[in-house]
Structure 1
Amino acid sequence: MTQTILRGRWNYHRLTATVINDIAVEIGFFTLWAVAIVLISEHRKNLGISSQMLTVLGTVLGLVISFRTTSAYDRYWEGRKLWASVTVASRNLANIIWIQVPTDRKNAEGKDAHLRATIEKKTMVNLVQAFSVAMKHYLRGESGIFYEDLYPLVSVLPQHGPTHAEMGEDFKSKDDMLPLWSSTPDLLSAYPPPATTRSESPGDMEKTVADSSSGPKLPPGHKLSPARNPPKKSIYDWIPLLLPIKPFVSMIMHFVAPNRKRSNRDWMGRKIKREINIESNVPLEITLFLSSYLSHITKLGLVGPPILSAYWASLASFQDSAVALERIRSNPIPYAYQMHLRMSTWLYLLFLPFQIYSVLKWVTVPATAFAAFLFLGFLEIGAEIEDPFDYDENDLDVDRFCEAIGKELAEITAHPVALDPAHYIFGEWNQPFAPGDMRSADTIIANEEHDYHHPHNGSASLRRTLLRSWRDTNQRRLTHTHF
């Protein structure tokens, strides 16, 4: 559905989706500057200058700003296409694992072999879902796996390199912990370790603390962060007009509360991007486990070469999308380009009142305010959408993408695996030749006297029915188009 600014009711969410809050301070500054120029020109000395450079510089600046915004939108749209690729690869991998990998296997021992195979496949489908969730947190600079939407999907993975049976308990320590488990979310402060000087015993590493819910157990000293961790809003987000006094408030608070949390806006109201400090590439770790599962089913001979090729192609698509998404996140438009463009815009807006005062007089004030809104707005839009994975109102809704992938994978695993197509093809609900022949499939099969069953003319009769279906469908389409 096409979105328009006139559809629906305006509320705070829609207001924050604009860049008005981000550029309000700058617009106010240039408006006051224009008021000062007009007052001086009206009552003291005419400060008007020639406007010959106005058209030339304005055109050049407009083109450069347009290029800046277009470049940012290209990154935004590329990010959306890459998430679509992640969705397609997730569907394909889940389809292969759930449908193509057999549940009833040869030489499988035990009466619960079918159940074990189903648990195995569902676990791997969960890992497929975990990739998109881990990618979301990775792109947002959120380290670790201890999130409400990610940890239940990956808690099954081993925490240490060697297993207990291979190397013994002495190797189950933090030094042998896999990278997947060795990082903690920066937004959480883990529980402090006990005040002791003794070395960690193997028994301590095996202890787990159950979460308050019925979900998976957590290692000691960890708790789950929410699936979404947007920066907290401050008073400057709600009242942007207070931003001019922010430097003075920050100076006072530096001495009063030096350990306070920093605001997510600078003194001019522009949003500050959070720094990325990733200890472990969780999406990469997940693809390694999916790759090891491919090796497992290959060694057991569970699927043929075409299915293995399709599995590997989907896994490679995961890797390609992850690298491309990381490139967008970690390679912003060069700072020198952004700063030079903003400084040029500021200089243009500073000299604008001098050039238009002689013609517009007091209209110079609203004209300058509108020019500031126009140029600075496009600059801020470009700065916001060039990194489309954060929590800004105009960023990609990657949370919804992940939820959609999870829903689709749950739908795939709800599909019966060993369903014989004959059960629904030859049933009473199937009308294969409609609208030319409205009889059900079981009726057609049972009526052996019909021309379809004739050993010589059966094919011709079927062809006449299919042609009649085409004519009826085409006539229905033409009638619908006419009305």
Structure 2
Amino acid sequence: MTFERQRWFQIALQFRGSVIGTIYKRVLCCGLFGMFITLLYQLKVPVSQPILGSVIPSIVLGLLLVFRTNTAYERFWEGRKCWGSIVNNTRNLARQIWVSVEEVSPKDREDKIAVLNLLVAFAVATKLHLRGEPINSELEDLISTSRYFKLKSMNNPPLEVAFWIGDYLQQQYNRNCLNSYQLTSIQELLNNLVDNLGGCERILRTPMPLAYAIHLKQLLLLYCFLLPFQMVESLGWWTGVIVGLVSFTLFGIEAIGLEIENPFGYDANDLPLDAICQTMKRNIDDLTSLSPNVRSQDLGETSNVSV
């Protein structure tokens, strides 16, 4: 319990991952404006206007902020579900390919390992694609040199990797190393991977409506700059401090929405895509260390390794 209390305070006072660095200038601006209004009030300037509290009802602004934050979190959680599905479909694909595809020649084992590495390459290429980054050395150990340079010229690298996997499956079916039922089952899992890619792209390329974002920011500024006129008579020199605290709360909620609406970057609040891809690589390495005719119970345990 004592450790949990210490952890609670440690998180509460943590700067990394918070939105303080994003909003502190706005908070200071509002606090200083509150102090300026207090100074005018002390100089007998008639700045006290409590009636301004009815200009923007708190409940209206609160509902707008809640809607903004909920919408952003839905995007974050949808991205997490897409990547969870990528992990699960990759494990199931790897398991079925490793067990179902018959090895007629010694080279078939190498081809199977290569296509299993393509599954990891799909995840890594998807990560880079979502981050808007070019193909880099992360993929060099997962694919052949010719394919590596070919990916560099593609507009949608993960889609090309999915095509290579599908092409391998069709070749094995033509060689009678897969039957039609196995091919259909594995192709369905591959289709799910492509669907997950599309889901992530939808999140990335569907921004919040600009008019809504602009209007919310305008209301936040208007509300925070009207606060000193409402409070100065009752709070006096404390007006600047209280306005700063209120603006810290409101700007912080809005900044959290901005922070999590695109969960595919490098920020502390984004999804740990690098760790997820590394876990998938370890899962594939574990699977390829087993014999294809290993008992299904062992394979089931391998596929249940957590992210």
CA distance in 1: counterparts of 2:277 and 2:131, whole angstroms: 14
Q: CA RMSD in A?
A: 2.3
Matched, 1:368 2:247: no
Q: Structure 1 397/5 Cα, relative in aligned 2: closer, same or farther at 3 Å?
A: farther
Cα distance change on mapping 1:8 and 1:410 into 2, 3 Å: farther
Match of residue 358 from structure 1: 233
The unaligned stretches of length 5 or more in structure 2 are: 297-307
TM-score (ref. length: structure 1): 0.58
Residue type matched to 2:161 in 1?
I
Q: Give yes or no for contact 1:51–1:356 (8 Å, CA) kept in 2.
A: no
**How many Å separate the matches in 1 of 2:63 and 2:173?**
56
Shift of the alpha carbon at 1:92? 1.1
Residue deviations 1:251-298, cap 9 Å, x none?
Answer: xxxxxxxxxxxxxxxxxxxxxxxxxxxx62100010110110111011
Distance 1:395 1:351, change over 3 A: same
Q: Judging changes above 3 Å, is the alpha-carbon distance between structure 1 residues 135 and 341 closer, same or farther for their aligned structure 2 residues? A: same
Which of 109, 119, 131 does residue 128 from structure 1 map onto? 119
Q: Residue 73 of structure 1 contacts residue 386 of structure 1 at CA under 8 Å; is this kept in 2?
A: yes
In the alignment, the residues of structure 2 paired with residue 36 and residue 62 of structure 1 have an alpha-carbon distance, to the nearest angstrom, of 26
Kindly state the Cα deviation for residue 52 of structure 1 after the two structures are TM-superposed. Answer: 6.2
Report the alpha carbon displacement of residue 117 of structure 1 after superposing the two structures with TM: 1.2
| Aligned partner of residue 15 in structure 1, secondary structure | coil
Tell me the secondary structure at the aligned position of residue 137 of structure 2: coil
- Aligned sequence identity (%): 32
Contact 2:101 2:177 in 1 (8 A): yes
Offset from partner CA, 1:323-357 (integer Å, 9 cap, x none): 11001011111122111101110011011110111
Kindly indicate whether residue 129 of structure 2 is the aligned counterpart of residue 148 of structure 1: no
Aligned CA distance change for structure 1 residues 314 and 157 (closer, same or farther; 3 Å):
farther
Quote how far apart the aligned CAs of 1:362 are: 2.2
* Structure 1 residue 139 displacement after superposition: 0.5
Q: Distance in 2 between matches of 1:283 and 1:5?
A: 44
Corresponding residue for 2:278? Answer: 403
Q: Which residue of 2 aligns with 1:16?
A: 16
What secondary structure does 2:85 align onto? Answer: helix
* 1:400 to partner: Cα distance: 1.1
Q: Secondary structure at the match of 1:286?
A: helix
Greater RCO, CA 8 A, separation 6+:
2
Q: Which residue of 2 aligns with 1:74?
A: 74
TM-score, with length taken from structure 2: 0.89
Q: Which residue of 1 aligns with 2:49?
A: 49
**In structure 2, how many angstroms separate the alpha carbons of the residues matched to 1:327 and 1:401?**
20
- How big is the shift at 1:154? 2.3
Shift of the alpha carbon at 1:46?
Answer: 3.2
The structural deviation recorded for 1:9 is: 8.0
Specify which structure has the higher proportion of helix. 2
Residue 84 of structure 2 corresponds to residue 93 of structure 1: no
Residue 153 of structure 1, CA deviation = 1.1
Provide the secondary structure at the position in 1 that maps to 2:57. Answer: helix
- Are residues 89 and 76 of structure 1, via their aligned partners in 2, closer, same or farther at CA, if it must alter by over 3 Å? same
Q: Distance in 2 between matches of 1:307 and 1:350?
A: 65
Q: Match for 2:267 among 392, 395, 402?
A: 392
In the alignment, is the contact (CA less than 8 A) between 2:38 and 2:239 conserved in 1?
yes
> Relative to 1, partners in 2 of residues 1:405 and 1:9: Cα closer, same or farther, differing over 3 Å?
farther
Distance 1:419 1:407 in 2: 18
Structure 1 CA distance, aligned partners of 2:293 and 2:193? 28
Displacement of 1:364 in angstroms is: 1.6
2:53·2:226 contact (CA, 8 Å) conserved in 1? Answer: no
Contact 2:35/2:240, CA 8 A, preserved across alignment: yes
Output the CA distance in 2 between the equivalents of 1:407 and 1:21: 36
> Following the alignment from structure 2 to structure 1, what is the Cα–Cα distance between the partners of residues 259 and 170?
42
Q: CA deviation at 1:300?
A: 0.8
Provide the rounded CA distance (Å) in 1 between the counterparts of 2:31 and 2:268: 27
CA 1:419–1:352: 2 relative to 1, 3 Å: closer
> Residue 317 of structure 1 is aligned with which of 183, 188, 192?
192
- With 39-48 and 81-90 compared, the bigger mean Cα shift is at 39-48
Structure 1: runs of 5 or more not aligned:
106-112, 160-176, 183-278, 422-483
Q: Secondary structure at the match of 2:271?
A: coil
- What is the CA distance between 1:67 and its match in structure 2? 0.4
Shift of 1:151: 2.2
| Partners of 1:83 and 1:321 within 8 A in 2 | yes
Distance in structure 2 (CA, Å) of the matches to 1:5 and 1:139: 38
Determine whether 1:347 maps to 2:226.
no
CA distance in 2: counterparts of 1:60 and 1:420, whole angstroms = 60
Change (3 A) 1:363 1:9: closer
- Counterparts of 1:24 and 1:14, CA distance in 2: 15
Conserved? CA contact 1:54–1:355, under 8 Å: no
Q: What one-letter code is carried by the residue in structure 2 that aligns with 1:351?
A: L
Shift of 1:6: 4.5
Tell me if 1:414 matches 2:289.
yes
Partner of 2:174: 299
2:33 alignment partner AA = W
Following TM superposition, by how much is the alpha carbon of 1:411 offset from its aligned partner in structure 2, in angstroms?
1.4
Q: In the alignment, is the contact (CA less than 8 A) between 1:139 and 1:389 conserved in 2?
A: yes
Deviation of 1:156 after TM superposition, in Å, equals 4.3
